Amino acid sequence: MACTDPAASVGGASASPAPLIFAIQHFCIHDGPGTRSVVFFKGCPLRCQWCQNPESWRRETELAHKGHLCIDCDTCVDVCPTGALTAPGVWDPARCDLCLRCVDACPAAAMVRFGEPRSADDVLAALQPEFNLYRRSAGGVTLSGGEATLFVPLATEIAQRLKNQAIHSTLETCGLFKLAAVQPLLAAIDLVLFDLKLFDDEAHRAQCGAGNAGVKENLRALVRRAASGAGPRVWPRLPIIPGITSVADNVTGWASLLQEIGVRGVTLVPYHQFGAGKRSWLPDAPAAPELGALSPAELARSAAILAAHGVQSFAPGAEDWRLAGGVATRG
Ligand code: SF4
Ligand code: SF4
């Protein structure tokens, strides 16, 4: 999908539609310290070409059709009251009023809905059964997406209520936000997983749909605040996408910046193709680009470049969080 004016959706939530959550996953071990639950907000200011969660892009509820589950029974077509659905997996969004009858009637769970409005009470109720596990594993909850900073009031309420119960909270962000607008959220969060992508501004714009000047500025500011104890701890993550973020100049650019601002650890997230098929579920998502498999050599070279700049790299789930910049809190 082409970027739909990412800049228009950057910042606080005042002009946003009601926040939607498209998934809450439990028992996650790659999204922060310990064992965690991850809350996925729906809506993202970026459109990274390699994105494996295209259902996270738009802020609106979406219908999707999982063709591999469909048994061609035509039930969805029969129950559609507006005539929007003309064949399994074929519908006219202009005629669809999102009544969700097709979703409810599908016997194969092939028609699905992405995005539901959920209150903080509702999200906390879904998380509560895992609280003891978080405490035993020094884990917690990660607010992800999409981009949780688009929905500051709800994300802040969830994080603050977790904090009140001594549950560790992590924010995973693409880094494209207005710092002043997300201040309430940062005040309630223990750790920020800060995603890095293209170092070059134009390359970032071409691959992700928006430039990265604000991303770098926010990274600097958050690391500075963490170092002084005035903000949550910060841990960058760099997806290694073959031929895109993996190129030596890109890794070197980030390594130099991380060294300059005193970051000592980074997660290298190896590219995989697990999410590529999801694009076909959504009517207007472009096909995933053809990317070759990531070679172990590319990953090793990236780690070596970072090491040469004094930055230690880790696989997801194997981080030494003691290297996270800032003042340790819980977890
Ligand atoms: S959500 Fe309702 S209107 Fe839209 S395609 Fe399904 S049944 Fe038809
Ligand atoms: S109701 Fe479900 S299984 Fe049947 S045709 Fe529609 S999408 Fe496929």
Q: Domain residue spans in the chain? A: 6-60+117-323, 62-114
Residue 252's pLDDT is: 98
> Best of 66, 68, 72, 104 to mutate for ligand 2, by most ligand atoms within 8 A of CB?
72
Q: What is the pLDDT along the chain (331 residues), one digit of tens a residue?
A: 333 333 333 333 334 568 999 999 999 999 999 999 999 999 999 999 999 899 999 999 999 999 999 999 999 999 999 999 999 999 998 999 999 999 999 999 999 999 999 999 999 999 999 999 999 999 999 999 999 999 999 999 999 999 999 999 999 999 999 999 999 999 999 999 999 999 999 999 999 999 999 999 999 999 999 999 999 999 999 999 999 999 999 999 999 999 999 999 999 999 987 777 888 899 888 888 888 889 999 999 999 999 999 999 999 999 999 999 765 443 3
Q: What is the Å distance from ligand 1's center to 260 Cα?
A: 53
Residue 65 beta carbon below 6 angstroms from any ligand 1 atom: no
DSSP secondary structure letter of residue 238:
E
Number of H helices, E strands in the chain: 10, 13
Residue 306, SS3? helix
Residue 52's pLDDT is: 87
Q: Which CATH architecture has domain 62-114?
A: 2-Layer Sandwich (3.30)
Quote the pTM value. Answer: 0.90
Q: How far is CA 41 from the centre of its chain?
A: 8
Q: What is the Å distance from ligand 1's center to 117 Cα?
A: 18
Q: Which ligand is nearest to the CA of 82?
A: 1
- Identify the CA nearest to 241 among candidates 272, 265, 267, 215: 272
Residue 291 beta carbon below 6 angstroms from any ligand 1 atom: no
Query: Which residue has its alpha carbon closest to ligand 1 atom 7?
Result: 80
Residue 72 beta carbon below 6 angstroms from any ligand 2 atom: yes
Q: Which two tokens stand for residue 305?
A: 């470049």
Would you tell me which CATH number, out of the four given (3.90.1150.10, 3.40.50.970, 3.40.50.1360, 3.20.20.70), belongs to the domain 6-60+117-323? 3.20.20.70
Residue 79 beta carbon below 6 angstroms from any ligand 2 atom: no
